């Protein structure tokens, strides 16, 4: 029997890559969408309308799913962090889980696992010599609190009981979306440079590996709990140098001053100016193998000189 995967946020960067991989592996994929008229030409991909604010979701579809992958969430870096925006970032991650939970808790279901995105922001926007593993408590800043409440909403499903997996993701390197195309812009015009001190750490993962990792979390019952979903750690300065090399563009000095980024971005500048390394040993112990562990190899397939 064909296994059914339901995805929230399925039209985004990670969701699109994951859907392609799942269909290749023979899964049937349903993507929850706010577009009532969206359809698919692929018989293995369907779209289902939902409205989180109104509590609208196809319960029959939900109860027939074998796996749910939760990727929905307002972009962390899309808009300045006003109080309203912060609330939208949190609510867009937590409210969908609560809606799904409320439909599952009093009904018969065949859900084998609920797999959710999370972020290395769980450990906070700080630069330290500490290498964080999954046993560390969440930070007390905006990113830490957001990721904690996000994961706590997921943890409620364990009471049903449902196997849950939380993938704390760093910077996703992809050609057609995410952070990389934005980071490439100044390099294209010959103004590539490190940001702030350049010492802040950027945990990263290639989009192909991340899609494979979600598949592994679906297929491997040993996946349980939180995982640092990153292939490597690199300083912002070394990342910038590697990116300039792959793009065959000059590396500009001096660094972009941190105060300038704070002036333009406000509080949100911390996501560019701060960061610490995280440990991915827990994922490696599942037997999962990253295809891209060398940053230069990963970037070469994504950038054009």
Does a structural domain hold residue 197?
Answer: yes
* Backbone region of residue 178 per phi and psi (left: phi > 0; alpha: psi in -120 to 50; beta: other values): left
Does a structural domain hold residue 205?
Answer: yes
pLDDT given at position 190: 85
Give, in order, the Cα–Cα distances in Å from 6 to each of 159, 165, 218, 224, 275.
20, 15, 12, 19, 32
Strands (E), the chain: 4-8, 28-33, 45-49, 67-70, 113-119, 163-169, 171-173, 201-206, 225-229, 232-235
pLDDT confidence tier of residue 265, bands split at 50, 70 and 90? confident
Task: Supply 226's token pair.
Answer: 């939180």
Residues 63-89: what's their mean pLDDT?
A: 95
**CA end-to-end span of the chain, whole Å?**
46
Contact between 143 and 124 (Cβ < 8 Å): yes
Question: Which has the closest alpha carbon to 292: 185, 170, 114, 183?
Answer: 170
pLDDT higher than 90, residue 273: yes
Does a structural domain hold residue 225?
Answer: yes
pLDDT given at position 11: 92
pLDDT given at position 135: 97
pLDDT higher than 90, residue 121: yes
Question: Which has the closest alpha carbon to 202: 245, 182, 178, 172?
Answer: 172
Does a structural domain hold residue 106?
Answer: yes
Best-predicted range by mean pLDDT (34-43, 80-89, 107-116, 249-258): 80-89
* 92-120 per-position pLDDT tens digit: 999 999 999 999 998 877 899 999 999 99
Residues 194-218: what's their mean pLDDT?
A: 97
pLDDT given at position 43: 84
Number of domains the chain contains: 1
On average, the pLDDT of the chain sits at 94
pLDDT confidence tier of residue 260, bands split at 50, 70 and 90? confident
Q: What is the largest CA-CA distance in the chain?
A: 61
Does a structural domain hold residue 242?
Answer: no
Fill in the DSSP letter of residue 194: -
43 exposure class (CB count in 10 Å sphere: 0-12, 13-18, 19+)? exposed
Q: What is the CATH number of the domain that holds 107?
A: 3.40.50.720
pLDDT higher than 60, residue 305: no
Does a structural domain hold residue 256?
Answer: no
Contacts of 289 (CB under 8 A, 6+ apart): none
Does a structural domain hold residue 260?
Answer: no
pLDDT given at position 37: 79
Q: C-alpha angle 55/60/66, rounded to 5°?
A: 105
pLDDT given at position 251: 87
Give the structural domain span for 138: 4-237+265-300
Does a structural domain hold residue 148?
Answer: yes
pLDDT given at position 257: 85
Residues 160-176: what's their mean pLDDT?
A: 95
């Amino acid at each position: 029997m064909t296994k059914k995967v339901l995805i929230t946020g399925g039209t985004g960067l990670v969701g699109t890559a994951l859907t392609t991989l799942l269909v290749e592996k023979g899964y049937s994929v349903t993507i929850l969408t706010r577009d009532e008229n969206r359809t698919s030409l692929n018989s293995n991909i369907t779209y289902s309308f939902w409205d989180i604010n109104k509590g609208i979701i196809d319960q029959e579809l939900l109860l027939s799913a074998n796996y749910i992958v939760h990727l929905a969430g307002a972009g962390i870096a899309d808009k300045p962090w006003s109080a309203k925006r912060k609330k939208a970032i949190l609510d867009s991650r937590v409210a969908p889980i609560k809606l799904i939970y409320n439909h599952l808790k009093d009904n018969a279901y065949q859900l084998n696992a609920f797999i959710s995105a999370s972020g290395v922001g769980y450990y906070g926007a700080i630069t330290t010599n500490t290498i964080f593993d999954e046993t560390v408590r969440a930070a007390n800043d905006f990113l830490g609190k957001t990721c904690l409440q996000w994961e706590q909403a997921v943890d409620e499903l364990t009471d049903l009981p449902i196997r849950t997996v939380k993938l704390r993701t760093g910077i996703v390197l992809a050609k057609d979306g995410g952070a990389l195309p934005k980071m490439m812009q100044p390099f294209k015009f010959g103004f590539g440079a490190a940001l702030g001190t350049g010492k802040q750490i950027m945990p990263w993962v290639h989009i192909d590996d991340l899609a494979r990792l979600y598949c592994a979390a679906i297929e491997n019952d040993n996946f349980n709990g939180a995982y640092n979903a990153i292939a490597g750690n690199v300083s912002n300065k070394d990342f910038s140098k590697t990116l300039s090399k792959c793009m065959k563009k000059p590396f500009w000095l001096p660094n972009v001053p941190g105060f300038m980024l704070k002036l333009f971005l406000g509080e949100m500048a911390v996501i560019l100016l701060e960061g610490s390394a995280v440990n991915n040993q827990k994922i490696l112990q599942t037997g999962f193998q990253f295809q891209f562990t060398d940053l230069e190899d990963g970037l070469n397939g994504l950038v054009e000189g």
